[in-house]
């Protein structure tokens, strides 16, 4: 069966035309593809092609070239200086250089300014240097925060080169696992998570005289937390010394804040900082011509397929980037494009399809970064990964479905909440960012598979993370600063239920006592760079004497990449190979088994051998390596609290019970009991009925009681990362009845 997606109007399942005031008609030489035998349609899922052949697509004319404005995590400005060309010349040629003196004056006069700069304006590399060169920073440091690590490190490298110093000297960076800064460092690029960590040990950020918050429009939870804290810190540091009976504040320079953002929501930042002045910096992005669909598309996959071949057959050279919401759409579109590409006349250009999403195995997407061979067009099918984190060379055409998947935390008054992961319409800011991907190297074209009216109706930017995430970790961090989350002045108020559910979780962990005060346990938990529930598990492992095992497991769970890679066409053989790692109690001990096996291989094999072993077993080595770094970091924190690693991970499995008991301590809220139907489970705390996710080692078995890492609602509520525990374990865990002093 062909897969038909109905989005809005069932009757509109027939594909509509693209219409244009300019009557821009495009011929579709591939119309005969519709004549492919029906039998072939059965092979694999792919979009409905209803009406595909009937009328040519037409796009409405753009409102002239557009220069999308959201900047991305990569280095602003030219990034490949010729060996001999002068970096200083390049600096002077940047759009921002013209306004240098004015900008310096503005920053000198104001405690806060909001800086709007388009991609390519050079704001992220130049403003810190201007501040330093003008002497505004005094003797302290300039911090530049970034949401992503790669951005922080590559920006530092660029600016160090411009200053003609080594990274770690006058210009440095600080990201997790990697710090390059020293006593001489004056400009420091760091992740927003890192500066929030610094806040915990230095609540006034006394090492800095200027904080530049870059990419503020992304509104990560940590950026919002930082902005809220900065407001208070700034007030405190500008007080006269006797105002609060403490002299300490006056010893510090007043703090200057520069908020850098995309153009769309600058007013909001300005208002938040008492109407701080807004400065605008012209960008230098190549023009991107934008076409909107004349009518809304009920089937974005079919529409994307049509438009791709339209571009492929009618337009000049240049790679095509198609934005899709998720892996299944990518795989399905890949099959369709492959099928129809084979039916093109021989003289046409070849098509190389590059799927791109985060769960891919290492190296699976390497061809995307190589230039396409002669007479070949790359077609990149990507999720949001290509929107900000990865820049793909050669892209001239963007096809934007207007959809993405977004995680949203649904807090409940009882029993904790769960995440939803649903396909949603993108935002204006995201749409502009996607279009901008066509103009990285030259002028480009973006085809939007939605109407101009739909674009105008989009939200300006995504709901800030503070309204979409669990707040448990942030509430705990603020508690360590002696602050209560709900008393802080945030740009957007968090959802009340989320705050309540965060406090409740922390109380259940014993991190807060009955008076909502931080306990010693809570302070210890906050010291771990972990989700609070995992931090609780690590602390519990001391009691049960299984810290080595727990830390291995928690490290893998905390790694950003998934341990098991998914190659959907080899799903069966992958499952077969994984069976030998499968532990009867479930996913947690299965992970431990994989880590142990990898460590044995690591002793016996060289780098290539290890990589081959991972590939053969469908394991993501990147996840294992990242987990190793996390483990080493966690061991250091453990050492501070007397958690011992002397015995190491036991070779036999007779510590399994202890491991499961420790896990249960952090996952109290994530537990469920088998229902009489023998398929679904009911939360022990809360009323949600859940199923075990099919990727779990336990999915095809029945267990009276389970604990799990997370609940995600996609088309059902699934428990992921599941282990079976004896019901009696619940008795040993702190529950609602237990009081904390």
By CB under 7 A, name the binding residues for DNA: 147-150, 175-176, 191, 193-194, 197-198, 200-201, 220, 325-328, 357-359, 383-385, 389-390, 404-407, 421, 465, 473, 527, 529-531, 558, 560, 562, 566, 568, 571, 575, 633, 693-695, 699, 712, 714-716, 718
Quote the Cα angle for 203-204-210, to 5°: 130
Q: Which long-range contacts (CB under 8 A, 24 or more apart) does 345-353 make?
A: 345/29, 348/312, 348/313, 349/312, 349/317, 349/375, 349/376, 349/377, 350/375, 350/376, 350/377, 351/312, 351/376, 351/377, 351/379, 352/376, 352/377, 352/378, 352/379, 353/379, 353/381
Q: Give the nearer residue to DNA in terms of CB position, either 531 or 656.
A: 531
Q: What share of the chain is helix, strand, coil (3-state, %, to 5)?
A: 40, 20, 40
Q: Minimum CB separation from DNA for residue 696, in Å?
A: 9
Q: Minimum CB separation from DNA for residue 161, in Å?
A: 22
Q: Minimum CB separation from DNA for residue 76, in Å?
A: 18
Give the single-character DSSP code of 264.
Answer: G
In 3-state terms, what secondary structure has residue 22? Answer: coil
| Side-chain half-sphere exposure of 334, counting CA atoms within 13 A | 18
**CA 308 → CA 6, 231, 404, 537, distances in Å?**
20, 48, 19, 49
| Side-chain half-sphere exposure of 29, counting CA atoms within 13 A | 12
- Per DSSP, the chain holds a count of helices (H) and strands (E) of 22, 22
Rg (CA), the chain: 27
Q: Minimum CB separation from DNA for residue 351, in Å?
A: 22
- CA–CA distance, 134 with 702 (Å, rounded to integer): 68
Q: Give the nearer residue to DNA in terms of CB position, either 274 or 572.
A: 572
Tokens of 19: 């219409």
- CA–CA distance, 218 with 147 (Å, rounded to integer): 8
> Which residue, 33, 51, 32, is CA-closest to 41?
33
Q: Minimum CB separation from DNA for residue 330, in Å?
A: 8
Q: Minimum CB separation from DNA for residue 315, in Å?
A: 27
Q: Give the nearer residue to DNA in terms of CB position, either 314 or 576.
A: 576
- CA–CA distance, 87 with 97 (Å, rounded to integer): 13
Quote the Cα angle for 580-585-586, to 5°: 70
Q: Give the nearer residue to DNA in terms of CB position, either 515 or 715.
A: 715
Q: Give the nearer residue to DNA in terms of CB position, either 424 or 615.
A: 424
Q: Give the nearer residue to DNA in terms of CB position, either 15 or 539.
A: 539
Q: Give the nearer residue to DNA in terms of CB position, either 176 or 338.
A: 176
> Which residue, 178, 175, 275, 260, is CA-closest to 217?
260
Q: Minimum CB separation from DNA for residue 389, in Å?
A: 4
Q: Give the nearer residue to DNA in terms of CB position, either 383 or 451.
A: 383
Q: Minimum CB separation from DNA for residue 721, in Å?
A: 12
Q: Specify which residues 112 forms β-bridges with.
A: 257
Q: Minimum CB separation from DNA for residue 610, in Å?
A: 23
Q: Minimum CB separation from DNA for residue 105, in Å?
A: 34
- CA–CA distance, 96 with 66 (Å, rounded to integer): 20
Contacts of residue 19, defined as CB under 8 A and 6 or more positions apart, other chains included, come to 58, 60, 294, 295
Give the single-character DSSP code of 44.
Answer: S
Q: Give the nearer residue to DNA in terms of CB position, either 446 or 526.
A: 526
Q: Minimum CB separation from DNA for residue 478, in Å?
A: 13
- CA–CA distance, 387 with 415 (Å, rounded to integer): 35
Q: Minimum CB separation from DNA for residue 153, in Å?
A: 9
Calculate helix-pair angle for 587-604, 621-640, nearest 10 degrees: 100
Give the single-character DSSP code of 3.
Answer: B
Q: Minimum CB separation from DNA for residue 557, in Å?
A: 9
**CA 92 → CA 77, 281, 726, distances in Å?**
11, 14, 68
Q: Give the nearer residue to DNA in terms of CB position, either 146 or 234.
A: 146
Q: Give the nearer residue to DNA in terms of CB position, either 286 or 405.
A: 405
Q: What DSSP letter does each residue of 290-338 carry, written as one string?
A: EEEESS--S-HHHHHHHHHHHHHHHS-S-EEEEE-SSHHHHHHHHHHHH
- For residues 147 and 191, the answer to whether their CB atoms sit within 8 Å is yes
Q: Give the nearer residue to DNA in terms of CB position, either 293 or 633.
A: 633
Q: Give the nearer residue to DNA in terms of CB position, either 98 or 200.
A: 200
Q: Give the nearer residue to DNA in terms of CB position, either 325 or 416.
A: 325
Q: Minimum CB separation from DNA for residue 436, in Å?
A: 17
């Amino acid at each position: 069966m062909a897969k038909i997606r109905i989005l809005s109007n069932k009757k509109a399942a027939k594909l509509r035309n693209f219409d244009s005031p300019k009557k821009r008609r495009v011929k579709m030489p591939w119309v005969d593809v519709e004549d492919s035998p029906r039998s072939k349609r059965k092979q694999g899922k792919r979009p409905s092609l209803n009406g595909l052949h009937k009328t040519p697509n037409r796009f409405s004319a753009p409102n002239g070239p557009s220069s999308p404005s959201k900047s991305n995590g990569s280095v602003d400005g030219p990034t490949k200086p010729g060996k001999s060309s002068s970096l200083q010349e390049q600096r002077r040629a940047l759009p921002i250089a013209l306004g240098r003196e004015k900008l310096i004056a503005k920053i000198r006069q104001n405690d806060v300014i909001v800086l709007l700069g388009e991609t390519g304006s050079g704001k992220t590399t130049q403003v810190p240097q201007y501040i330093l060169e003008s002497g505004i920073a005094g003797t302290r440091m300039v911090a530049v925060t970034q949401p992503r690590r790669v951005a922080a490190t590559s920006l530092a490298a660029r600016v160090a080169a411009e200053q003609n110093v080594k990274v770690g000297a006058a210009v440095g960076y600080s990201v997790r696992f990697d710090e390059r800064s020293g006593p001489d460092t004056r400009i420091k690029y760091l992740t927003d998570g890192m500066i929030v960590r610094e806040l915990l040990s230095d609540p006034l950020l006394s090492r800095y005289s200027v904080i530049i918050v870059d990419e503020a429009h992304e509104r990560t939870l940590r950026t919002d937390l930082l902005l809220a804290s900065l407001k208070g810190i700034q007030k405190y540091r500008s007080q006269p010394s006797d105002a609060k009976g403490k002299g300490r504040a006056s010893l510090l320079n007043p703090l200057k804040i520069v908020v850098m953002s995309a153009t769309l929501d600058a007013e909001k930042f300005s208002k938040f900082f008492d109407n701080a002045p807004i400065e605008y910096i012209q960008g230098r992005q190549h023009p991107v011509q934008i076409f909107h669909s004349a009518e809304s598309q009920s089937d974005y996959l079919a529409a994307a397929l049509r438009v791709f071949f339209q571009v492929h057959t009618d337009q000049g050279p240049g790679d095509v980037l198609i934005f899709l919401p998720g892996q299944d759409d990518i795989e399905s579109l890949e099959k369709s494009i492959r099928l129809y590409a084979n039916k093109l006349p021989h003289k046409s250009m070849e098509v190389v399809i590059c799927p791109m999403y985060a769960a891919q195995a290492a190296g699976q997407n390497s061809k995307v970064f190589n230039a396409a061979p002669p007479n070949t067009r790359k077609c990149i099918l990507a999720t949001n990964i290509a929107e900000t984190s990865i820049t793909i060379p050669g892209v001239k055409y963007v096809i934007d479905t207007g959809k993405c998947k977004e995680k949203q935390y649904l807090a409940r008054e009882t029993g904790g909440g769960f995440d939803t992961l649903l396909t949603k319409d993108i935002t204006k800011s995201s749409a502009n960012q996607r279009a901008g991907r066509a103009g990285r190297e030259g002028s480009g074209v973006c085809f939007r598979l939605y109407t101009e009216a739909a674009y105008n109706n989009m939200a300006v930017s995504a709901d800030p993370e503070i309204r979409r995430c669990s707040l448990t970790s942030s509430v705990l961090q603020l508690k360590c600063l002696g602050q209560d989350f709900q008393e802080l002045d945030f740009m957007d108020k968090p959802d009340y239920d989320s705050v309540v559910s965060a406090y409740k979780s922390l109380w259940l962990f014993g991190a807060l006592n009955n008076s909502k005060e931080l306990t010693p346990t809570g302070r210890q938990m906050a010291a771990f760079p972990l989700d609070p529930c995992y931090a609780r598990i690590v602390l519990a492992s001391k009691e049960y004497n299984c810290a080595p095992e727990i830390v291995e497991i928690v490290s893998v769970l905390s790694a950003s990449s998934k341990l098991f890679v998914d190659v959907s066409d080899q799903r069966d053989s992958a499952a077969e190979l994984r069976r030998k790692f499968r532990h009867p109690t479930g996913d947690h001990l299965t992970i431990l088994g994989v880590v142990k096996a990898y460590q044995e291989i690591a002793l016996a094999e060289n780098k290539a051998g290890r990589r081959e072993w991972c590939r053969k077993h469908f394991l993501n080595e990147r996840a294992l390596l990242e987990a190793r770094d996390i483990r080493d970091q966690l061991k250091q924190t453990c050492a501070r609290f007397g958690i011992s690693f002397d015995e190491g991970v036991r070779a036999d499995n007779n510590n399994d019970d202890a491991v499961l008991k420790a896990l249960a301590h952090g996952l109290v809220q994530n537990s469920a009991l088998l229902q009489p139907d023998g398929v679904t489970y009911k939360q022990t705390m809360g009323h949600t009925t859940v199923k075990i996710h099919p990727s779990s080692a336990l999915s095809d078995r029945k267990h009276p009681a389970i604990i799990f890492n997370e609940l995600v609602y996609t088309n059902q509520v699934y428990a992921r990362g599941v282990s079976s525990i004896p019901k009696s374990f619940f008795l040993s865990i702190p529950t609602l009845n237990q009081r904390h002093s």
